[in-house]
Structure 1
Amino acid sequence: MNLFGGTISSLENGLNYASLKNKTIAQNIANVDTPNYKAKDVSFEKMLSEARNSTINANKTDIRHYDFTIKQSTPGVFSYENYQYRSNGNGVDMDAQQASLAENTIYYNALIDRISGKLNTLNTVIKGGR
Protein backbone atom coordinates (compact mmCIF):
# COMPACT_ATOMS: atom_id res chain seq x y z
CA MET A 1 0.00 0.00 0.00
CA ASN A 2 1.33 3.39 -0.94
CA LEU A 3 0.24 5.83 1.75
CA PHE A 4 0.99 9.02 -0.17
CA GLY A 5 -0.06 7.93 -3.66
CA GLY A 6 3.45 8.30 -5.10
CA THR A 7 3.49 12.11 -4.87
CA ILE A 8 6.11 12.31 -2.15
CA SER A 9 8.38 9.82 -3.91
CA SER A 10 8.03 11.71 -7.20
CA LEU A 11 8.95 14.95 -5.46
CA GLU A 12 11.88 13.16 -3.80
CA ASN A 13 13.12 12.01 -7.22
CA GLY A 14 12.85 15.59 -8.44
CA LEU A 15 14.91 16.77 -5.47
CA ASN A 16 17.55 14.12 -6.20
CA TYR A 17 17.77 15.37 -9.78
CA ALA A 18 18.00 19.03 -8.71
CA SER A 19 20.65 18.20 -6.11
CA LEU A 20 22.77 16.27 -8.63
CA LYS A 21 22.42 19.09 -11.16
CA ASN A 22 23.49 21.62 -8.53
CA LYS A 23 26.60 19.56 -7.69
CA THR A 24 27.44 19.27 -11.39
CA ILE A 25 27.09 23.02 -11.93
CA ALA A 26 29.25 23.70 -8.86
CA GLN A 27 31.90 21.35 -10.23
CA ASN A 28 31.83 23.16 -13.57
CA ILE A 29 32.17 26.57 -11.90
CA ALA A 30 35.03 25.31 -9.72
CA ASN A 31 36.89 24.12 -12.83
CA VAL A 32 36.32 27.22 -14.95
CA ASP A 33 40.09 27.88 -15.18
CA THR A 34 41.23 24.24 -15.52
CA PRO A 35 42.77 23.58 -18.94
CA ASN A 36 41.04 20.91 -21.06
CA TYR A 37 38.17 20.51 -18.55
CA LYS A 38 34.94 19.56 -20.30
CA ALA A 39 31.71 20.94 -18.85
CA LYS A 40 29.25 18.39 -17.47
CA ASP A 41 25.48 18.44 -17.34
CA VAL A 42 22.67 16.26 -16.02
CA SER A 43 19.93 14.93 -18.26
CA PHE A 44 16.60 14.22 -16.59
CA GLU A 45 15.63 11.96 -19.50
CA LYS A 46 18.79 9.87 -19.05
CA MET A 47 18.19 9.61 -15.31
CA LEU A 48 14.61 8.49 -15.92
CA SER A 49 15.50 5.89 -18.53
CA GLU A 50 18.37 4.54 -16.43
CA ALA A 51 16.08 4.26 -13.42
CA ARG A 52 13.58 2.26 -15.46
CA ASN A 53 16.16 -0.07 -17.00
CA SER A 54 18.51 -0.53 -14.08
CA THR A 55 17.22 -3.68 -12.44
CA ILE A 56 19.09 -6.95 -12.51
CA ASN A 57 17.29 -10.14 -11.57
CA ALA A 58 19.12 -13.17 -10.21
CA ASN A 59 19.14 -16.40 -12.19
CA LYS A 60 17.67 -19.03 -9.90
CA THR A 61 19.13 -22.49 -10.63
CA ASP A 62 17.86 -24.26 -7.52
CA ILE A 63 14.65 -23.96 -5.51
CA ARG A 64 16.70 -23.24 -2.38
CA HIS A 65 18.10 -20.06 -3.93
CA TYR A 66 16.64 -16.75 -2.87
CA ASP A 67 14.95 -14.38 -5.27
CA PHE A 68 16.56 -10.96 -5.29
CA THR A 69 16.78 -7.92 -7.46
CA ILE A 70 19.66 -5.46 -7.63
CA LYS A 71 18.93 -1.89 -8.61
CA GLN A 72 21.83 -0.17 -10.28
CA SER A 73 21.61 3.58 -10.18
CA THR A 74 23.94 5.59 -12.31
CA PRO A 75 22.93 9.22 -12.64
CA GLY A 76 22.50 10.79 -16.06
CA VAL A 77 25.64 12.95 -15.94
CA PHE A 78 27.34 13.51 -19.27
CA SER A 79 30.19 15.64 -20.61
CA TYR A 80 30.30 17.98 -23.58
CA GLU A 81 33.34 16.27 -25.14
CA ASN A 82 33.61 18.24 -28.39
CA TYR A 83 32.74 21.61 -26.93
CA GLN A 84 35.58 24.09 -26.39
CA TYR A 85 34.73 27.51 -25.02
CA ARG A 86 38.27 28.84 -24.47
CA SER A 87 41.59 28.52 -26.24
CA ASN A 88 43.02 26.35 -23.41
CA GLY A 89 40.47 23.61 -24.15
CA ASN A 90 38.15 24.48 -21.28
CA GLY A 91 34.48 23.95 -22.09
CA VAL A 92 32.85 25.94 -19.28
CA ASP A 93 30.75 28.99 -20.18
CA MET A 94 30.50 30.86 -16.87
CA ASP A 95 27.44 32.91 -17.87
CA ALA A 96 25.54 29.79 -18.95
CA GLN A 97 26.51 28.00 -15.72
CA GLN A 98 25.28 30.88 -13.55
CA ALA A 99 21.99 31.02 -15.47
CA SER A 100 21.59 27.28 -15.12
CA LEU A 101 22.32 27.53 -11.39
CA ALA A 102 19.65 30.20 -10.95
CA GLU A 103 17.11 28.13 -12.90
CA ASN A 104 17.92 25.00 -10.88
CA THR A 105 17.64 26.91 -7.59
CA ILE A 106 14.13 28.08 -8.53
CA TYR A 107 13.17 24.50 -9.46
CA TYR A 108 14.59 23.12 -6.20
CA ASN A 109 12.80 25.73 -4.09
CA ALA A 110 9.50 25.00 -5.86
CA LEU A 111 9.87 21.30 -5.05
CA ILE A 112 10.67 22.11 -1.41
CA ASP A 113 7.55 24.31 -1.19
CA ARG A 114 5.41 21.53 -2.67
CA ILE A 115 6.75 18.91 -0.24
CA SER A 116 6.25 21.32 2.64
CA GLY A 117 2.63 21.83 1.58
CA LYS A 118 2.06 18.07 1.38
CA LEU A 119 3.54 17.49 4.83
CA ASN A 120 1.56 20.40 6.31
CA THR A 121 -1.63 18.85 4.92
CA LEU A 122 -0.75 15.52 6.51
CA ASN A 123 0.01 17.29 9.79
CA THR A 124 -3.40 18.96 9.71
CA VAL A 125 -5.11 15.62 9.07
CA ILE A 126 -3.19 13.96 11.90
CA LYS A 127 -4.14 16.73 14.33
CA GLY A 128 -7.79 16.46 13.30
CA GLY A 129 -8.03 19.84 11.60
CA ARG A 130 -6.75 21.87 14.53
Structure 2
Amino acid sequence: MPSWNAILGSHEQSIKIFGARSRILAANLANADTPNYKARDLDFKQMLNSYKNVATGNTPLITSNARHMQPTGFVYGGQLKYRQPQQASLDGNTVEGQIEKSEFLENAMRYQTSIQFISGKFKSLLSAIKGE
Protein backbone atom coordinates (compact mmCIF):
# COMPACT_ATOMS: atom_id res chain seq x y z
CA MET A 1 0.00 0.00 0.00
CA PRO A 2 1.46 3.40 -0.95
CA SER A 3 2.28 5.88 1.77
CA TRP A 4 0.57 9.25 2.16
CA ASN A 5 3.78 10.92 1.01
CA ALA A 6 3.66 8.95 -2.23
CA ILE A 7 -0.01 9.84 -2.74
CA LEU A 8 0.19 13.54 -1.86
CA GLY A 9 3.66 14.25 -3.19
CA SER A 10 5.17 17.50 -2.01
CA HIS A 11 1.80 19.26 -1.67
CA GLU A 12 1.58 18.57 2.07
CA GLN A 13 4.90 20.32 2.67
CA SER A 14 3.99 23.05 0.18
CA ILE A 15 0.87 23.91 2.15
CA LYS A 16 2.90 24.24 5.34
CA ILE A 17 5.45 26.48 3.62
CA PHE A 18 2.74 28.61 2.00
CA GLY A 19 1.09 28.99 5.42
CA ALA A 20 4.34 30.08 7.05
CA ARG A 21 5.04 32.46 4.18
CA SER A 22 1.58 34.02 4.42
CA ARG A 23 2.18 34.78 8.11
CA ILE A 24 5.51 36.43 7.28
CA LEU A 25 4.03 38.48 4.42
CA ALA A 26 1.10 39.53 6.63
CA ALA A 27 3.59 40.69 9.28
CA ASN A 28 5.38 42.71 6.61
CA LEU A 29 2.12 44.40 5.61
CA ALA A 30 1.17 45.04 9.23
CA ASN A 31 4.52 46.73 9.83
CA ALA A 32 4.51 48.88 6.70
CA ASP A 33 4.60 52.05 8.82
CA THR A 34 7.01 50.82 11.50
CA PRO A 35 10.33 52.69 11.36
CA ASN A 36 13.38 50.49 10.67
CA TYR A 37 11.23 47.38 10.06
CA LYS A 38 12.90 45.06 7.55
CA ALA A 39 10.64 43.13 5.18
CA ARG A 40 11.27 39.39 5.28
CA ASP A 41 10.37 36.45 3.06
CA LEU A 42 10.97 32.73 2.61
CA ASP A 43 12.67 31.09 -0.35
CA PHE A 44 10.07 28.44 -1.26
CA LYS A 45 12.41 26.21 -3.28
CA GLN A 46 15.07 26.23 -0.56
CA MET A 47 12.45 25.50 2.11
CA LEU A 48 10.97 22.58 0.19
CA ASN A 49 14.41 21.07 -0.46
CA SER A 50 15.35 21.56 3.19
CA TYR A 51 12.15 19.87 4.33
CA LYS A 52 12.69 16.92 1.98
CA ASN A 53 16.26 16.47 3.24
CA VAL A 54 15.21 16.57 6.91
CA ALA A 55 12.22 14.29 6.29
CA THR A 56 14.38 11.68 4.56
CA GLY A 57 17.16 11.94 7.13
CA ASN A 58 19.68 13.28 4.61
CA THR A 59 20.50 16.32 6.74
CA PRO A 60 20.98 15.40 10.38
CA LEU A 61 21.21 18.24 12.86
CA ILE A 62 24.36 18.71 14.87
CA THR A 63 23.61 17.87 18.48
CA SER A 64 25.57 18.52 21.64
CA ASN A 65 24.06 15.61 23.55
CA ALA A 66 23.44 12.02 22.45
CA ARG A 67 19.88 12.23 23.81
CA HIS A 68 18.89 15.11 21.50
CA MET A 69 16.25 14.09 18.98
CA GLN A 70 16.18 14.81 15.25
CA PRO A 71 13.14 16.75 14.00
CA THR A 72 10.34 14.75 12.44
CA GLY A 73 7.99 17.52 11.34
CA PHE A 74 8.10 20.80 9.52
CA VAL A 75 11.06 22.93 10.53
CA TYR A 76 12.53 26.12 9.20
CA GLY A 77 15.21 28.08 10.81
CA GLY A 78 17.70 30.34 9.12
CA GLN A 79 15.89 30.50 5.81
CA LEU A 80 14.20 33.85 6.45
CA LYS A 81 15.58 36.35 4.00
CA TYR A 82 15.46 40.12 4.17
CA ARG A 83 13.93 41.70 1.10
CA GLN A 84 15.94 44.39 -0.67
CA PRO A 85 13.74 47.43 -1.36
CA GLN A 86 13.52 48.93 -4.84
CA GLN A 87 13.29 52.39 -3.29
CA ALA A 88 14.96 53.42 -0.07
CA SER A 89 12.72 54.99 2.58
CA LEU A 90 13.72 57.76 4.94
CA ASP A 91 12.64 55.87 8.08
CA GLY A 92 14.62 52.71 7.25
CA ASN A 93 11.51 50.59 6.59
CA THR A 94 11.97 48.20 3.64
CA VAL A 95 8.29 47.19 3.23
CA GLU A 96 6.88 48.12 -0.18
CA GLY A 97 3.11 47.75 0.02
CA GLN A 98 2.40 46.90 -3.62
CA ILE A 99 5.11 44.25 -3.76
CA GLU A 100 4.00 42.71 -0.45
CA LYS A 101 0.36 42.60 -1.59
CA SER A 102 1.38 41.03 -4.90
CA GLU A 103 3.51 38.39 -3.15
CA PHE A 104 0.72 37.71 -0.65
CA LEU A 105 -1.86 37.18 -3.43
CA GLU A 106 0.48 34.93 -5.41
CA ASN A 107 1.20 32.89 -2.29
CA ALA A 108 -2.55 32.58 -1.58
CA MET A 109 -3.20 31.33 -5.12
CA ARG A 110 -0.44 28.73 -4.86
CA TYR A 111 -1.81 27.63 -1.47
CA GLN A 112 -5.31 27.25 -2.97
CA THR A 113 -3.92 25.27 -5.92
CA SER A 114 -2.20 22.81 -3.56
CA ILE A 115 -5.40 22.47 -1.51
CA GLN A 116 -7.40 21.73 -4.67
CA PHE A 117 -4.84 19.14 -5.77
CA ILE A 118 -5.00 17.35 -2.42
CA SER A 119 -8.80 17.53 -2.45
CA GLY A 120 -8.82 15.93 -5.91
CA LYS A 121 -6.51 13.15 -4.71
CA PHE A 122 -8.78 12.37 -1.76
CA LYS A 123 -11.87 12.39 -4.00
CA SER A 124 -10.13 9.92 -6.32
CA LEU A 125 -9.20 7.68 -3.39
CA LEU A 126 -12.76 7.82 -2.06
CA SER A 127 -14.14 6.90 -5.48
CA ALA A 128 -11.74 3.96 -5.68
CA ILE A 129 -12.75 2.76 -2.21
CA LYS A 130 -16.44 3.01 -3.09
CA GLY A 131 -15.81 1.22 -6.38
CA GLU A 132 -17.17 4.02 -8.54
TM, length-normalised to structure 2? 0.77
- Over 3 Å counting, the alpha-carbon distance change for 1:85 and 1:2 in structure 2 is farther
TM superposition outliers: structure 1 runs of 4+ over 6 Å: none
The whole-number CA distance in structure 2 between the counterparts of 1:71 and 1:19 is 19
Q: How many residues align?
A: 122
The one of 90, 95, 100 aligned to 2:98: 95
The whole-number CA distance in structure 1 between the counterparts of 2:80 and 2:122 is 31
Structure whose residues are more often strand by fraction: 1
**C-alpha distance after superposition, 1:53-99 (max 9, x if no partner):** 642388xxxxxx99x8612822422223x646321000000000011
- Over 3 Å counting, the alpha-carbon distance change for 1:116 and 1:24 in structure 2 is same
The one of 46, 60, 67 aligned to 1:55: 60
1:3 Cα shift? Answer: 2.9
Structure 2 partner of 1:111: 114
The whole-number CA distance in structure 2 between the counterparts of 1:11 and 1:38 is 30
The whole-number CA distance in structure 2 between the counterparts of 1:71 and 1:33 is 37
**Are 1:39 and 2:42 counterparts?**
no
**C-alpha distance after superposition, 1:75-125 (max 9, x if no partner):** 422223x64632100000000001111111111111111000000001101
- Over 3 Å counting, the alpha-carbon distance change for 1:40 and 1:57 in structure 2 is closer
Which residues of structure 2 form unaligned runs of 5+? Answer: none
- Determine which structure has more spread, i.e. the larger CA radius of gyration: 1
Which residues of structure 1 form unaligned runs of 5+? Answer: 59-64
- Over 3 Å counting, the alpha-carbon distance change for 1:15 and 1:5 in structure 2 is closer
The whole-number CA distance in structure 1 between the counterparts of 2:49 and 2:111 is 21
- Over 3 Å counting, the alpha-carbon distance change for 1:78 and 1:54 in structure 2 is farther
Q: Match of 1:78, SS?
A: strand
Identity of aligned residues (%): 29
Q: Which of the pair has the greater relative contact order for Cα pairs under 8 Å at 6+ separation?
A: 2
